[in-house]
Amino acid sequence: MKLLLNKFKSFLFLIKPKRIVAVSRAFNCEEWVEISIKSVIDHVDAVLIVRSDKAYLNANIEYEDIEPIIDKLKQKYGEKIVVLRKNWNNEDEQFPDLIKYVKNEMKATHFMMLDTDEVYKREDIKELIALTKKIKTFNKALYVDMYTYIKSIYYRVAPMEPYKPLSIFPLVDYLKVSSFRHIEGVPRFNTGIPMHHFALVRKKDERIKAKFATRNTYTRVENWYEKFYENFSPEIKDFHPIIGQHSQWKSIEIVKNIDLPDGVQDEFKSWIV
């Protein structure tokens, strides 16, 4: 009986009109937030910009004023941009709260995770969104491949690291949250679609240091910033910042402009004074 009930619920979810909300948690990374949101907004129903005025763990890091960027996006996209202002102590506390908000207040069927330094190419986001409507994948958690860039938009980890982040998942009743970006109860589907992650490419080098100040889940490699970032070379090997995972970042490959998402090259050029 339970199996039949679950199948019936899945059928109802299949025929339900899909509403996808991308969630951008915008405390900092002002360099990429506009490009990140623009890379997906034409393919989702709304973008929720989550705004906090304090860092996780109360870390003492520079607060980046992205309000002008938010205003600009709201002027261009109108009601497709929704802003939620609230503080949380950490990501594990924030994540289930955002899921409830997107499901109950924004009436979404799918939640898309979009950190401010994550950008998609146009053809890739179209393919990813299409999976939410296909019978084999509409009720599955969609995981993407990830290109990780370091120091410059022209240097990225090669080969692509094994880690595949959660991107889109259905907001079904049986969904369970275990921790930030980790869910249970929904079948997993590895899409093979790439996302471009510019976490280690910033205008100011000290912002890279600040990024580590808000994370305490993993044990970091001692002096990683000085050893691999400040003394970066395209010849570096085995340089992942988490102890025990160094080999996930094996080497560096050179990136061509044609391989970059729209807007990335122009943004990077604008940093050069």
Indicate the residue type of 158: A
**pLDDT at residue 216 greater than cutoff 90:** no
**Mean pLDDT over all residues of the chain?**
89
**Of 211 and 101, more confident:** 101
pLDDT at 91: 84
**Of 131 and 272, more confident:** 131
Confirm whether 253 is domain-assigned: yes
Tokens representing residue 38 in the block:
């623009």
Tokens representing residue 156 in the block:
């990225």
Confirm whether 188 is domain-assigned: yes
**pLDDT at residue 125 greater than cutoff 80:** yes
pLDDT at 42: 98
The tally of domains found in the chain comes to 1
Confirm whether 215 is domain-assigned: yes
Domain that holds residue 197: 16-270
**pLDDT at residue 61 greater than cutoff 60:** no
Q: pLDDT-based confidence at 14, cuts 50/70/90?
A: confident
Asked if residues 29 and 116 have their Cβ atoms less than 8 Å apart, the reply is yes
CATH number of the domain to which 71 belongs? 3.90.550
DSSP state letters, 211-231: HHHT--SSPBPTTHIIIIIIT
pLDDT at 222: 85
**Total-model pTM:** 0.91
pLDDT at 223: 87
Confirm whether 4 is domain-assigned: no
**pLDDT at residue 60 greater than cutoff 90:** no
Confirm whether 218 is domain-assigned: yes
Q: pLDDT-based confidence at 4, cuts 50/70/90?
A: low
Confirm whether 73 is domain-assigned: yes
**pLDDT tens digits, 237-269:** 999 999 888 789 999 999 999 999 999 999 999
Coil, strand, or helix at residue 268? helix
Confirm whether 9 is domain-assigned: no
> Any long-range contacts for 87-94 (C-beta under 8 Å, 24+ apart)?
87/52, 87/53, 87/54, 88/52, 88/56, 89/56, 89/57, 90/56, 90/57, 90/180, 91/56, 91/180, 91/181, 92/179, 92/180, 94/25, 94/50, 94/180
Confirm whether 1 is domain-assigned: no
Least confident piece of the model among 5-9, 73-77, 160-164, 185-189: 5-9
**pLDDT at residue 230 greater than cutoff 80:** yes
**Of 212 and 47, more confident:** 47
Asked if residues 240 and 251 have their Cβ atoms less than 8 Å apart, the reply is no
Residues of the chain with pLDDT > 90: what percent? 66
